[in-house]
Amino acid sequence: MTKTPDSAVRSFIDQHEDAFLADLADWLRIPSVSADPGRAGEVRRSAEWLADRLRATGFPVAEVWETDGLPAVFAEWPSGDEGAPTVLVYGHHDVQPAAREDGWDTDPFEPAVVGRRMYARGAADDKGQVLFHTLGVRAHLAATGRTAPAVNLKLLVEGEEESGSPNFAALVRREAERLAADAVFISDTGMWSETTPTVCTGMRGLADCQIDLYGPDSDIHSGSFGGAVPNPAEVAAELAAGLHDEDRKVAVPGFYDGVVELTDEERALFAELPFDEQRWLEVAKSHGTRGEAGHTTLERVWARPTAEVNGIWGGYTGPGGKTIVPAEAHLKLSFRLVAGQEVEKVREAVADWVSARVPEGIRYEIVFPGATRPCLTPLDHPALRSTVRAMERAFEQKVLFTREGGSGPAADLQDALGAPVLFLGISVPSDGWHSINEKVELDLLRKGVETSAYLWGDLAENFRP
């Protein structure tokens, strides 16, 4: 029997919450800033701290895994039950840079509890959301009388997420056999708000490029030569202006090939969210919406592919005039991708589009750096249904659905392991990820613990890969 009694779980959390929060504060004191080479030793210390904590929790395997950069942590706790699903939880233990002089009210690496909030760098992103699984699995065991989880439980906690995960994909490929799982849970995500619990069902991918355009061998006089030779700054502007059609659809032929369209059910679920467009515009520091015709704002940022001009420059930009045809101009573009789009096909389509639009007499180079694939969890997936049930037990209210417009390492896990990716997080927009005074709501952190405690039993009963 894997059913976890709610009252027993809550009683266990009551008894151990203070010790859990003390552990979290201890971990948060380690300034594991992956972007700062001078703190590489602190990132390693953070990894070793977590491995020790996981062993103390009961994980029979907890290892620090080396990469070509900073270390990750892997842990494993087999269920012992025949046919039990295998679950991998992903998070990260590195944090963004932070200093008191940035505007923090307290020392960012000396946790401060004010009311039911804990302020510290990493409190929400992502140490708090990693650590709640340690108390969650203990509550699951205590409430069910088990000596091992109802699922084969694995954790992978990265040390370079805040630096762009440069070595993560290689690590996952290298250790794919040990990481093998039937489902992957990303605990580096959030909810709609403090009063509206949600589950994310997908993240967009990303492809970007820089286009360098070269015309004359040097800047030349616009009176003597302008109008008779191609101008690279004009070509850059034409490319930027031609990126969308009159309906704000991306005008690159083949760009939408394979796109998984929103279903009527998904659109209805988005519409259930208490979305305030004016408030959203204030957060976006913008003064009006604009995007693909026929779609709402949430659909545009979560479920539709997009193209953006990230930068355009070239020619003379100093004071006064300088009447030249510039020698070169440059353009940076990025493309957010949704389920069904293939990164390589999008890159080929963009390269072909640029080639067809650059006139004779202009030389150009187009460079595509690394990319991220999109991921999407079907609404009827049994592991998603288990997640929703576990959250609804913890929050005692209906759980709604979101997606995320940004990108992350989820697709690397999905691609390498061939497993569905799900999202389980309790952070809220006010937590201030990457900002000053980052915090975690302790009542929501407790709900994360409770959700984790319920989830493993529900998966064991309802998810048979």
Q: Is the peptide bond before 126 cis (omega within 30 degrees of 0)?
A: yes
Confidence tier at 2 by pLDDT (50, 70, 90): low
Residue-averaged pLDDT of the chain: 96
CB atoms within 10 A of CB 288: 5
Transcribe 120-154 into DSSP letters: STTTTTTHHHHHHHHHHHHHHHHHHT-SS-SSEEE
How high is the pLDDT of residue 406?
A: 76
Query: What is the structure's pLDDT at 1?
Result: 44
> What average pLDDT does the segment 265-275 reach?
96
State the pLDDT at residue 464.
87
pLDDT at 331: 98
Instruction: List the beta bridge partners of residue 427.
Output: 190
- Report long-range pairs for 11-16 (Cβ below 8 Å, ≥24 apart): 12/138, 12/139, 12/142, 12/143, 12/453, 13/135, 13/139, 13/446, 13/449, 13/450, 13/453, 16/135, 16/138, 16/139
Give per-residue pLDDT as tens, 433-459. 999 999 999 999 999 999 999 999 999
Beta bridge partners of 61: 76
Q: First CA to last CA across the chain, in angstroms?
A: 19
Over the range 333-367, which residues count as b (16 or more CB within 10 Å of their CB) and which as e?
A: bebbbbbebbbeebbebbeebbeeebeeebebebe
371: pLDDT strictly greater than 60: yes
Residue 398's SS3 state is coil
pLDDT band at 408 (very low <50, low <70, confident <90, very high): confident
**Residue 11, token pair as written in the block:** 């009683």
Q: Which residues pair with 366 in a beta bridge?
A: 211
Distance CA 43, CA 26 (A): 14
Residue 91 has pLDDT above 60, yes or no: yes
pTM of the predicted model, to two decimals? Answer: 0.91
CA dist 50 → 43, 132, 294 (Å): 11, 12, 47
> Contact, 242 vs 255, CB < 8 A?
no
User: Is residue 410 scored above 90 in pLDDT?
Assistant: no
Question: If you search the block for the tokens 């909810």, which residue do you land on?
Answer: 191
**Taking residues 176-201, what's their average pLDDT?**
96
**Cα-Cα-Cα-Cα dihedral sign, residues 136, 141, 144, 146:** positive
Alpha-carbon gap, residue 373 to 411, rounded angstroms: 5
pLDDT of residue 411: 80
Q: What are phi and psi of 266, to 5 degrees?
A: -65, -40
Q: How confident is the model at residue 3 (pLDDT cuts 50, 70, 90)?
A: low
Average pLDDT over residues 212-233: 97
Q: Judge whether residue 462 has pLDDT over 90.
A: yes
- CB-based contacts of 396, cutoff 8 Å, min separation 6: none
User: For residue 55, what are the β-bridge partners?
Assistant: none
Rg value, the chain, Cα: 25
Confidence of residue 87 (pLDDT cuts 50, 70, 90): very high
Domains of the chain: 5-203+374-462 (3.40.630.10), 207-259+305-371 (3.30.70.360)
**Between the ranges 161-165, 242-246, 414-418, where is the mean pLDDT highest?**
242-246
